[in-house]
Structure 1
């Protein structure tokens, strides 16, 4: 009797992890044939998240970011850690490329509006203008050779909230890749970065939220592999004043929240770029957004209500990501 032996390759299993980070669930999904490797990879990722949050957070008084802000207006340089200098350099470059529509120097304004939302008290025009006066990305000076940083305006405060989640999510994906993981998804409060695809599939299927809604989604889904997807809108953080809804996304020109009601989803090559582009596209004209998207190899969809109907405007290549209906 002839007996044949087959070396059956182990099939990857799905592992899901969730932890509260940055005030939101930080979810990791990965596939691996080795449970010990999966657990170690997730554990290392969360430790890295904690270390980066301690650097970037403006909620932690002793964070490196806040220690830098204390030095604003002083001649002495602040020597930044590699991670802080990296995100500052990327942010300043993003501000230049987006015509200033993305700006991390609005920290005084974000703190003002954060307090206003909490206390439900509308700030005075004078308060807004005072906070706006200490902003401006051109007031950040960087020396890459020495990792030196100067904030030239006294009272300037930085807010990395428009880029830090995407940055951290991307670093987690990079860490998982370095440990031999080839299929993973990281979701940080709507900032999603993917690595490869789930086994046997062409991509990760994602739903897109509707404007002004916390639960409703577009009728069509998208499928991405090795891409980042970020959505920005006013469904969760906003204020209503004299019948008008103001988003938590601020206009660097006026100091007030956006009132357009846009929900913007960006698909990009990495989480960092996807994150800041959503803020830029929330403000730029459609033609300017389309031009910037081409320059950054990104795609986007802008959804908003017009006359009680949803109006959707897409970049040229966005349709290629729609999930195929069979």
Structure 2
């Protein structure tokens, strides 16, 4: 991110990621309340600790439904709908595969084909049973685990945006480890894959938009001369393998950004562009292995290319 205004920066670490809040005025009390809000939602949604509502659901897999709070239930319902979309690379039930690969954690490795096949049998989103009246979730097969890691940050970023508005704040930027949400006008950098943290491909000018980027450079490991990244294809059980290095989604809500970065990653550039031409609420930037930067459109942002090694084009090319 980059901006020339005089800003106050507040930071912490939550959800296993650096959290940054930018404000045009000094307000430590507001920053503290924002971080407390993020922590409350993290405690509800995490699968990286023994205690959370999501972990309660996972521990009861194959045995009984678990009633959860309405916010958690609605998020799970949204995640299931995205998982059941045609050709979806999004899957809320992907937890067993994530734990098998352990990409980004100690002990990551390439599993055997037999191990992957066994875990794939536990990742059917159809086997996540929802009861609207009771706000309960039942994983019908023992060993199933839901993982909301691909959607939780977007949901929480939207709640932070709503809270800041309620507090009368009309200018702020919150970065939840890659999920950026803005109030007012800001410049947001597009990171260069496999480069230094401050190396940018370009910069987006946005006004009150969410910017979510998912890239193969975020978490990966190398084995036998090959790089294995964390964006798993729920259909094969292996990391997605296509022409892309990153997908950035610009939208009003960060929850949509989380869902659509995954969906578009799975679709690839050609199919992704075809889908985006039919939607006015979602825009995207694709960065390919061939160093093409492909824009779906620029209704919600303006993009400036900074790195001469990349070629700027659009979905009509």
TM-score (norm 2): 0.86
The answer (yes or no) to whether the contact 2:205–2:301 under 8 Å persists in 1 is no
Residue of 11, 19, 28 corresponding to 1:26: 19
The answer (yes or no) to whether the contact 1:210–1:303 under 8 Å persists in 2 is no
The answer (yes or no) to whether the contact 1:244–1:259 under 8 Å persists in 2 is no
1:255 paired with 2:244, answer no
The answer (yes or no) to whether the contact 2:210–2:252 under 8 Å persists in 1 is yes
Residue of 267, 280, 291 corresponding to 1:284: 267
Structure 1 residues 270-319: Cα deviation after superposition (integer angstroms, max 9, x where no partner): 1111112111111113343234434371111111123xxx1222213369
The answer (yes or no) to whether the contact 1:247–1:259 under 8 Å persists in 2 is no
Which residue matches 1:266? 249
Aligned residue pairs total: 299
Which residue matches 2:216? 234
Mapping of residues 81-230 of structure 1, within 5 Å: 81-97=69-85, 99-114=87-102, 118-196=106-184, 203-215=185-197, 216-218=199-201, 220-230=202-212
Residue of 9, 19, 22 corresponding to 1:16: 9
* Per-residue deviation, 1:243: 2.9
**Higher relative strand content:** 2
| Shift in CA distance, 69/289, structure 1 to aligned 2, threshold 3 Å | same
Structure 1 residues 124-157: Cα deviation after superposition (integer angstroms, max 9, x where no partner): 2111111111002121122223212121222111
* Per-residue deviation, 1:88: 0.4
| Shift in CA distance, 264/214, structure 1 to aligned 2, threshold 3 Å | farther
Using the alignment, how far apart are the partners of 1:119 and 1:93 within structure 2?
Answer: 32
Using the alignment, how far apart are the partners of 1:78 and 1:292 within structure 2?
Answer: 36
| Shift in CA distance, 92/27, structure 1 to aligned 2, threshold 3 Å | same
Point out the structure with max Rg over C-alpha.
1
Which residue matches 2:292? 311
The answer (yes or no) to whether the contact 1:214–1:236 under 8 Å persists in 2 is no
SS of the residue aligned with 1:99?
coil
Using the alignment, how far apart are the partners of 1:151 and 1:180 within structure 2?
Answer: 41
The answer (yes or no) to whether the contact 1:301–1:318 under 8 Å persists in 2 is no
| Shift in CA distance, 98/213, structure 1 to aligned 2, threshold 3 Å | farther
Task: Extract unaligned runs of 5+ from structure 1.
Answer: 1-11, 197-202
The answer (yes or no) to whether the contact 1:214–1:235 under 8 Å persists in 2 is no
The answer (yes or no) to whether the contact 2:22–2:174 under 8 Å persists in 1 is yes
Root mean square deviation, CA, Å: 2.4
* Per-residue deviation, 1:80: 1.0
Structure 1 residues 20-66: Cα deviation after superposition (integer angstroms, max 9, x where no partner): 1112211111234xx5xx33322221111111111111111111111
Using the alignment, how far apart are the partners of 1:26 and 1:118 within structure 2?
Answer: 23
Using the alignment, how far apart are the partners of 2:133 and 2:221 within structure 1?
Answer: 43
Using the alignment, how far apart are the partners of 1:173 and 1:83 within structure 2?
Answer: 16
